[in-house]
Structure 1
């Protein structure tokens, strides 16, 4: 795979790009651009691509499960979790650190179960149901 990137770099060096397109010769910029485009095209897996590498998310019909391996030195008195509709924030990690885990689907932030087993934090979150109801609205005709 690395040889393909090397070939691409060599090919880009030989191209006469118009003014302003020099940034395409930088492989880091190209990689970030592709990652952003994939995230926009596939929002369901965006959490897996951009989220925490220490966390694993699983999904069932009604729930999202998050497993996070706690680092050594984590104290139960300082460990806290905060939930938004699209993310989980783990606070109180060693060194006054925190971790944000992007969720693959929206959840109900008030419904959560969390437990620590064998040094791993297990969080169970209830998915937010999709509204199937049509709402009637009036239309203004000038």
Structure 2
């Protein structure tokens, strides 16, 4: 697979790209772009693409549940959970490691319930609703 990327990189170097498309010559940018597109189109495998694959997600109409298998030796006093709208981060894992898990949908970070059962961290998050309110505002005309 690496040789295919090398061939693509050599081919891109020889192309005369229009102005503004120079970014396509940067393999890191292309890799991030492909990773983002795969994550959006296949959210159930997003954890396997971006992380260790220890996380799985379940989705209902209102909630998103992340199941993360804690590694052996995880200490309850050290493990900490941080939640953003688009990802969560688990810190304090054995060896001073941390793990980030991309979420397939946006969530409300403050509405979270986390519990460890049988060595698995279960994080239940409330999804952000897709409907956005629209407000009409007055316009001042001079």
TM-score (normalizing by structure 2): 0.69
**Aligned equivalent of 2:50:** 51
Please report how far the alpha carbon of residue 62 of structure 1 lies from its aligned counterpart in structure 2 after TM superposition.
0.5
Cα pair distance change 1:40/1:75, threshold 3 Å: same
For residue 33 of structure 2, what is the aligned residue in structure 1? 36
Distance 1:84 1:35, change over 3 A: closer
Kindly tell me: are residues 140 and 39 of structure 1, through their superposed partners in 2, closer, same or farther at Cα, counting changes over 3 Å?
A: farther
SS at match of 2:66: strand
Query: In the aligned structure 2, how far is the partner of 1:140 from the partner of 1:43?
Result: 41
**Distance (Å, rounded) in 2 between the aligned partners of 1:97 and 1:84:** 19
Moved more, 43-52 or 120-129: 43-52
Contact 2:38–2:46, Cα closer than 8 Å, also in 1? no
Aligned residues: 133
Deviations 1:7-57 (A, max 9, x none): x949x77xx6559x9x97x9xx3x962651462587464681653222111
| Structure number with larger C-alpha Rg | 1
Aligned to 2:100: 100
Q: After superposition, what is the alpha-carbon deviation per residue over 1:49-82, rounded to whole angstroms, capped at 9, x for unaligned?
A: 6532221112111111111111111111111111
Q: Residues of 2 paired with 1:96 and 1:38: CA distance? A: 26
TM-score (norm 1): 0.69
Contact 2:39-2:46 at 8 Å conserved across structures: no
Tell me how large the CA RMSD over aligned residues is: 3.7
Q: Which residue in 2 is equivalent to 1:130?
A: 130
C-alpha change, 1:48 and 1:140, in structure 2 (3 Å) is farther
Residue 78 of structure 2 is matched in structure 1 by 78
Measure the CA separation in 2 of the matches of 1:87 and 1:131. 21
